[in-house]
Amino acid sequence: MKILAMAWRGVRRDLRAADVRALLLALTLAVAATTMIGFFLDRVDHAMARQAGQLLGGDLVLVKGSAFDDGVIETLEHAGMTVTAQTTTASMAGHGDQFQLASLKAVNPGYPLYGEVTIDRGQGRESAGGLPAPGHVWIEQRLGRALGVSLGEKITLGDQSLTVSAWVLQEPDQDVGLAGFNPSVMLSGSTLATTHLIQPGSRATYRLLAKGTPAQLASLDDQLDRWRDRGIRVMDVREDRPRIGRALERSQKYLSLAGLAAVLLAGVAVAMATRRYVDRHLDTAALMRCFGARQRQLVRLFAAQLALLALLAAVGGALLGLVGQWALLAVLTRLLPLELPPPGPLPLLLGVLTAMAVLVGFAGPTLLRLRQVSALKVLRRELDPLPAAGWLIVTVASLVFGALLWLYSRDFMLSLGLLLGGLVALAILWWVARGLLAALLALTPHLPLNLRLGGRQLARRRSSSLGQIIAFAVTFALMALITLVRSDLITQWQEQLPADAPNQFAINIQPSQRDAFIDAIDQLTDQRSQVYPIVRGRLVAINGETARDAVPEGERNDGKLQRETNLTWSAAPPANNPLSSGEWFGEGAGEQSLPPISVAQGFARDLGLALGDRLTFDVAGQEVSGQITSLREVDWESFRPNFFVIFPPGALSGFSHTYITSFYLNDSAQQQLGSVIQRFPSVSLLDIDAILGQVRNLLGQVAQAIELILGLVLLAGIAVLYAALTASRPARAHEGALLRVFGAGNRQLARTQASEFLLLGLASGLLGAALTESTAAVLYAGWLDFTPRWHLWLWLTLPLGGALLIGGIGYLLSRPLRRQAPMASLQLLGEA
C-alpha cells in the first residue's frame, strides 16, 4: 500500500510533464480503439446468441427448392414441434409506370415463431399481431419510395393488384447482405397463390420453420441426417449459428485489424515517451538508492506509476470507445438484422488488459534501466545506465503484439502470419524509408536555409525520424486504400466490361411466354444473349458413389452438394465457353440412356471430376445421369447465362423448366421496358446497374466504419509524433538555444522547426503513396484480375497533405520550446 500511495503522488506530480501526457494520450487511444470495436462486436455477439432462434426463424429450419411433402410436416408435428411454412421468391412489383424487383415472403398462420413483425399502418410503430389480410400486402418503405406508392394504394404482383396496408419496419428473420438487397413484400400464402407467380419450374425457396424444446430437437437427430441426404438444407439452432451477412462478418475482421494498427502505433508512442520518462527519473532513482531503496523497490514504484496511468487511460479510452461504438452502429445499421442489447463489461476488461499489455511490451524493457541506477549518479551526473537493447524492445513488443493479435482474431495461424509478415514488411519499409530520407537530405544543400536546417535536424535524429515516417506512411496508405476500395475498384471493373455488356437479366420466363417475351425484347435491343432453359437439380452421386463421399474431403460441405444447381441443355457450346478438353455432343445424344454432359472446368476442379466420370442428379424426385465428355472454360464476368452442367437437347425436356436470358438496353430503351413488364408480370428482371449501385453503397458503409477506426490510427500516429517531440525535447531545446545565442530570432527558429516537420510529412506522404500503389497493384493483378494503373492524385495529395498535416501539428506542438529563454533551454538540457 505504501508503494501505491507513493506511486499515486508521483502520478499526480508527473501529469504536468509532456512525456507523461504523451504516454497517457497513446494509451487512451489504444484503449479507445479496442473498446470501440469491442463494445460493438460484443453487442452483435450477444444479440446473435440470445436471438438465434429469432434470426433463423425457428429452432429448426428446413429449406429446399421445391414444396415439402406432407410427410415432413407430419414428422415435425409428431415430435411435438410447432410448424409454419414460408415461401420466398423474387418478382417485379409495379405501380403505374414504375417497377421494382422485390423479394416476396409468403407467410402462413403461426408466423413468426419467435419475435414479432413490427409495422406502421399510418398511426405509428406497432406489433402486427397476425398476417396480412387476403388481397393485402405489407411492404418496406424503400419499395414504397421506389414505386411512389402510399398506404392504401395498390401495387401489381403477377396477375393481382394488391393493397398496401402497412409499412414493414422490422422482421425477425430478415435477410441481410446481398440476399436482402431487394426491398421486401410480405403477404399471406393464400394471396401468393392468387398471383400465379409460382409456376412449374419457377425459382422459389420453401422453408419449414419449427419451434420446440431441446429434447424434441434431439429426438429428430436421425431424421435430420436422412433429410440432409435428400438434399434438404437443415439449419439447427443448436449447431448452425445464424450468419449476420458476409459483409458484416468481414467488416468485423477489418475493424479488429484496423483497431490493432492503432494499438501498434500507440505502443510505439509509449516506447518513445517511456524513454524520456525514465531519463527524467534517473536522478530521482539515484536519490532513492542513496536513501536505501533496493533495485526491486525502484522498479515496483515506477511500474506502479505506469500501471496507474494505464488505469486512467483505460477509463478515458473506454468512455471514448463507448461513444465511438454508437458511431459504428449508426454507420453499419443497415447491415444489422436485429436490435442490439446494451454493451457488456467484457470490452472494458479487454481495454484494461490492452493498456497493461502495451505497457509491458513497449515500456517494460526501457523501465528496467532504473534497476541499473547507481547511487553515485548523485555526485557524478554522467553515470547513466546503458539504454535498453533495441533487440530486446523489438522482441518483447512483438511477442505482446502477437498475443493481442491472437486475442482479437482468435486465429493462431492468421496471427502468426500477420506478425511475421508485418516484421518482414517493417524491415523492408525501414530500408526504403532510409533511402528516401537519404535522397531528401541529399537535396537539402540546394534548398533555402530553413529547409537545410530542417533537413539537418532530421539527420541528427535519423532513427526517430525513420520510425515516424513509417508510422505515418502506413497510416496514410491504409486510408488511401480504403478510398480506392470505395471508388476505384467497382469503377475500374465496370470500365473493363464491354460497352454492350448485358445490363439486364430476365429469369422465370415460362415456356408459354418464351417466344412472345423474346420478340418484345428484340424490339428494344439487338444485343441479346442466347435463351437457355433452366431445370433445377441437385448432384447426388458420382460414379455410383454418394456425391459427398466421392468428392475431396475439403469440398464435402461445399454448397454445390447441398443446394440445387441450374441445369440446361444446348445443341452447341455457349459462345463465351470454349472447350478446354473433350468433344461436344453429336446429334441424337440426348436420346442415349447415358447422355453426354459438359461441365465447367472450375466445377470439375473443385469436385475432383474428370472426363468419363458419371454424374447423377436428383431432378424433381427423379434421378438423371450423364457422362462427362467435355470441360468448358466459363467466363463468369460476361453477364451472360452460364451453367456448371449442360446436357444435350432432349435429355431434360420432360421436366418442368423456365427460361433465362440477358440483354443490353440503352437509356431510351430502359424507359420502354415498363410496357414489357406489364405484359409479362411473372418474369423477373435483374437490373445489373442497380445491383452494382447497392454493392457500392454496401462497400461505402463498411469503408466508413473502417475510416472511423483509421481516424484513431491517425491520432495514434500524431501521438507518436508528440512522443518523439517529447523524447527529443532536451536536445531540441539545446539546439534552439544555440541558434538564438548566435542571433536567430523566434521567427527563424519557427521556420526551421516547421521545415523539419514539412520534410517529415513529405517523406511520409511519398512513402505512403508508393505503399498504396504497390499494394493496390498486387490486389488488382493477383486477386481482382484488373490491369494495374497509376493514381496520379495519390502522388499529389499524400505528400502535400502529409507535409501540411504533420508540418502544422509539429509546428504547434513545438511552440512551448520557442517560448523559452536560451538560458532556460540550456538548463533543461543540463537537467536531462
Set of cell numbers at residue 781: 493483378
Q: Which amino acid is at 626?
A: G
Band (pLDDT 50/70/90 cuts) for residue 616 is very high
Each residue's pLDDT tens digit, 458-485: 777 777 778 778 878 877 887 787 677 6
What mean pLDDT do residues 173-196 have? Answer: 77
What mean pLDDT do residues 160-164 have? Answer: 93
Specify the range with the lowest mean pLDDT, choosing from 434-438, 514-518, 591-595: 434-438
Q: Which amino acid is at 746?
A: N
| Residue 361 is assigned to a structural domain of this protein | yes
What mean pLDDT do residues 627-651 have? Answer: 88
Q: Look at residue 581 in the predicted model and tell me its pLDDT.
A: 92
Q: Look at residue 377 in the predicted model and tell me its pLDDT.
A: 46
Question: Is the pLDDT confidence value at 827 over 60?
Answer: no
What mean pLDDT do residues 292-314 have? Answer: 77
- Contact at 8 Å (CB) between 90 and 102? yes
| Residue 518 is assigned to a structural domain of this protein | no
**Helix, strand, coil in percent for the chain, rounding step 5:** 60, 15, 25
Task: Tell whether 348 and 418 lie within a shared domain.
Answer: no
- DSSP letters along 500-544, please? T---EEEEEE-GGGHHHHHHHHHTT-S-BPPPEEEEEEEEEEETT
Task: Tell whether 440 and 396 lie within a shared domain.
Answer: no
Q: Which residues contact 257 (CB under 8 A, 6 or more apart)?
A: 409, 418
Per the structure, the count of domains in the chain is 4
Of 395, 410, 425, which residue sits at a domain end? 410
Question: Is the pLDDT confidence value at 105 over 80?
Answer: yes
Task: Tell whether 186 and 109 lie within a shared domain.
Answer: yes
% of the chain exceeding 70 in pLDDT? 76
Question: Is the pLDDT confidence value at 304 over 60?
Answer: yes
Residue 304, phi-psi category: left (phi > 0), alpha (psi -120 to 50), beta (remainder): alpha
CA pair distance 703, 447, nearest whole angstrom: 40
**Which of 454, 485, 527, 490 minimizes the C-alpha distance to 749?**
454
Q: Look at residue 51 in the predicted model and tell me its pLDDT.
A: 61
Task: Tell whether 541 and 572 lie within a shared domain.
Answer: yes
Task: Tell whether 109 and 225 lie within a shared domain.
Answer: yes
Cα 793 to the chain's mean position, in Å?
A: 25
Task: Assign 173 to helix, strand or coil.
Answer: coil
Band (pLDDT 50/70/90 cuts) for residue 569 is very high
Q: Look at residue 177 in the predicted model and tell me its pLDDT.
A: 43
Task: Tell whether 814 and 703 lie within a shared domain.
Answer: yes
Domain around 593: 529-663
Q: Look at residue 382 in the predicted model and tell me its pLDDT.
A: 42
- DSSP letters along 413-444, please? HHHHHHHHHHHHHHHHHHHHHHHHHHHHHHHG
Q: Look at residue 322 in the predicted model and tell me its pLDDT.
A: 85
Q: Look at residue 532 in the predicted model and tell me its pLDDT.
A: 92
The mean pLDDT of the chain is: 78
Residue 307, phi-psi category: left (phi > 0), alpha (psi -120 to 50), beta (remainder): alpha
- DSSP letters along 97-147, please? TEEEEEEEEEE-TT--SSS--EEESSSSEEE--S-PPTTEEEE-HHHHHHH
| Residue 515 is assigned to a structural domain of this protein | no
Of 209, 236, 263, which residue sits at a domain end? 236
What mean pLDDT do residues 145-161 have? Answer: 90
Of 185, 210, 236, which residue sits at a domain end? 236
Band (pLDDT 50/70/90 cuts) for residue 742 is low
Specify the range with the lowest mean pLDDT, choosing from 241-245, 284-288, 489-493, 659-663: 241-245
CA pair distance 485, 508, nearest whole angstrom: 34
| Residue 121 is assigned to a structural domain of this protein | yes
Cα of first residue to Cα of last residue in the chain, in angstroms, is 30
Question: Is the pLDDT confidence value at 646 over 90?
Answer: yes
Task: Tell whether 336 and 211 lie within a shared domain.
Answer: no
Task: Tell whether 537 and 578 lie within a shared domain.
Answer: yes
| Residue 241 is assigned to a structural domain of this protein | no
Each residue's pLDDT tens digit, 38-64: 887 777 776 665 566 666 778 888 988
| Residue 642 is assigned to a structural domain of this protein | yes
CA pair distance 302, 359, nearest whole angstrom: 12
Q: Look at residue 441 in the predicted model and tell me its pLDDT.
A: 73
Task: Tell whether 578 and 630 lie within a shared domain.
Answer: yes
Q: Look at residue 587 in the predicted model and tell me its pLDDT.
A: 84
Each residue's pLDDT tens digit, 79-93: 999 999 999 988 888
Specify the range with the lowest mean pLDDT, choosing from 37-41, 127-131, 167-171: 37-41
Set of cell numbers at residue 569: 441443355
Specify the range with the lowest mean pLDDT, choosing from 27-31, 268-272, 489-493: 489-493
Task: Tell whether 7 and 156 lie within a shared domain.
Answer: no
What mean pLDDT do residues 341-356 have? Answer: 79
Q: Look at residue 378 in the predicted model and tell me its pLDDT.
A: 41
Within 10 angstroms of residue 407's Cβ, the number of other Cβ atoms is: 16
Question: Is the pLDDT confidence value at 605 over 80?
Answer: yes
- Contact at 8 Å (CB) between 458 and 437? yes
What mean pLDDT do residues 523-531 have? Answer: 84
% of the chain exceeding 90 in pLDDT? 15
Q: Beta strands 565-569 and 645-647: pairing type?
A: parallel
Each residue's pLDDT tens digit, 756-791: 788 888 888 888 888 888 877 776 666 555 667 778
Question: Is the pLDDT confidence value at 301 over 50?
Answer: yes
Q: Look at residue 777 in the predicted model and tell me its pLDDT.
A: 78
| Phi then psi dihedrals of residue 388, to 5 deg | -65, 140
**Which of 22, 19, 251, 31 minimizes the C-alpha distance to 717?**
22
Task: Tell whether 216 and 286 lie within a shared domain.
Answer: no
More confident residue, 175 or 267: 267
| Residue 674 is assigned to a structural domain of this protein | no
Task: Tell whether 145 and 257 lie within a shared domain.
Answer: no
**Which of 468, 458, 459 minimizes the C-alpha distance to 767?**
468
Question: Is the pLDDT confidence value at 829 over 60?
Answer: no
Q: Which residues contact 50 (CB under 8 A, 6 or more apart)?
A: 341
| Residue 524 is assigned to a structural domain of this protein | no
Q: Which residues contact 258 (CB under 8 A, 6 or more apart)?
A: 478, 706, 709, 710, 713
